[in-house]
Amino acid sequence: MAKIKAGKGAPYARILGVGGYRPTRVVPNEVILEKIDSSDEWIRSRSGIQTRHWANDEETVAAMSIEASGKAIAGAGISAEQVGAVIVSTVTHFKQTPAVATEIADKLGTNKAAAFDISAGCAGFGYGLTLAKGMIVEGSAEYVLVIGVERLSDLTDLEDRATAFLFGDGAGAVVVGPSQEPAIGPTVWGSEGDKSETIKQTVPWTDYREGVVERFPAITQEGQAVFRWAVFEMAKVAQQALDAAGITSDELDVFIPHQANERIIDSLAKTLKLPESVTVARDIRTTGNTSAASIPLAMERLLATGEAKSGDTALVIGFGAGLVYAATVVTLP
């Protein structure tokens, strides 16, 4: 019986560069209020959202991803040819096949990098980051590009009072590469499929194709159920990620949760008993909920504004449709 050799990867992995892209169109709450019976005060108090970005026809999933990825690659100090794999998390690439990752890998100029899409909703960035870490440690790639990208405006029902104001568009990307010391902690992840009805697409694409429904499918959710789950269950997951990394909340510099709702963010920070010294990402206010893109976009903004700095220790956690979740502790690039 032949003996299979183990891969020769790096001892550890780390995030080396981050980039983001926000569409040029900024949409204030007043635009949302044209279609729903609500108020700017209600939207801000319920979600924290003041504005969001919506993509135009040229700002496709691929185009936004390429812009964000170029910044991440430059920040990592490598060339596109060195990228060995491209992982894209998205639920708004409307071609079943081929994966948009293949188009992105080609247009960036990679050397035939492995490329694939994943569908893990708002936890997708964490899923992609975990896969990238494994590739680098195993040795199947030296550098991996992880992209979270969404055009959620395409799946938003502007007449749904519960969700019309929530979603935005954008892309965030990171380059993950080799490290001589731990810089991406163990991932605590999982799913609760028994709660899958709480966040979902209204109907399958086939219902629209066959004329069963006339309205294009959209994302809907049971707001209160999602809120309770996120606040109580995700606080436990976040704590497990801290424990797995061997650190306490007092040792954190930055907290970057999925930007779903500012009340959820505040509740998580309170439950985790984060000290005032910890910077908490609140990109939700001007970007809205961008699903898989929200964590890398928030990370990029914190570093760009100086609210966080290279080498800081950050807890990241994503959670959403599925219901799925993923949390880990990382060293910022």
93 assigned to active site: no
Chain centre to alpha carbon of residue 120:
9
DSSP secondary-structure letter at 167? B
261 assigned to active site: no
Residue among 125, 103, 78 nearest 325 (CA): 125
Q: Are 49 and 26 in contact (CB under 8 A)?
A: no
Burial 275-292 (b: 16+ CB within 10 A, else e): eeebbbbbbbebbbbbbb
Report CA torsion sign: 328, 132, 103, 207. Answer: negative
Question: Cα–Cα distance between 121 and 116 in angstroms, integer?
Answer: 15
End-to-end CA distance of the chain: give it in Å, rounded: 44
123 exposed, middle or buried (CB, 10 Å; 0-12, 13-18, 19+)? Answer: buried
From the list 29, 93, 122, 261, the catalytic residue is 122
Residue among 154, 87, 107 nearest 296 (CA): 87
From the list 29, 93, 258, 261, the catalytic residue is 258
Catalytic residues: 122, 258, 289
